[in-house]
């Protein structure tokens, strides 16, 4: 837990969120400002600033995060028509919350390339 991290506070229940999934390692919740009809954030409970902060010790955790995201996408009914995963990283990547998070976006046709 990082004291001044918004997502650590969400995991701790200090800031409310619309939970979609939780286990010992992961937490998933609805994005407060959805960019698509379905917009979920899935995060490790362990504080990692971003994907650059991960190392070999996090291999299983990151694998679990992706596979669980697949399950959530399936549960949301996105598997057939498709969806997008996004991990914004650092300033040029557009990261605004510095706790690693995977965006799951779906429910409409998404354009490419991103801005």
Which residues 6+ apart lie within 8 Å of 65 measured at CB? 26, 42, 44, 102
Q: In the complex with ligand AMP, which residue's Cβ is closer, 60 or 115?
A: 115
Catalytic residue among 39, 47, 99, 101: 101
Q: In the complex with Zn ion, which residue's Cβ is closer, 100 or 105?
A: 100
Q: How far apart are CA 25 and CA 65, in angstroms?
A: 9
Question: Which of ligand AMP, Zn ion, none binds 88 (CB below 5-8 Å, type-dependent)?
Answer: ligand AMP
- 99 touching Zn ion, by CB under 5 A: yes
Q: Determine how many CB atoms are found less than 10 A away from the CB of residue 115.
A: 4
Catalytic residues: 101
């Amino acid at each position: 837990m990082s004291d001044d991290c918004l997502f650590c506070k969400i995991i701790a229940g200090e800031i409310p969120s619309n939970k979609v999934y939780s286990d010992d390692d992961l937490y998933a919740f609805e994005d407060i400002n959805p960019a698509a009809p379905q917009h979920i954030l899935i995060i490790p409970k362990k504080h990692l600033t971003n994907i650059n902060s991960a190392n070999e010790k996090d291999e299983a955790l990151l694998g679990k995060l992706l596979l669980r995201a697949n399950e959530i996408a399936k549960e949301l009914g996105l598997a057939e028509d498709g969806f997008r995963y996004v991990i914004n990283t650092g300033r040029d990547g557009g990261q605004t919350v510095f706790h690693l998070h995977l965006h799951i976006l779906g429910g409409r046709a998404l354009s490419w390339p991103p801005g």
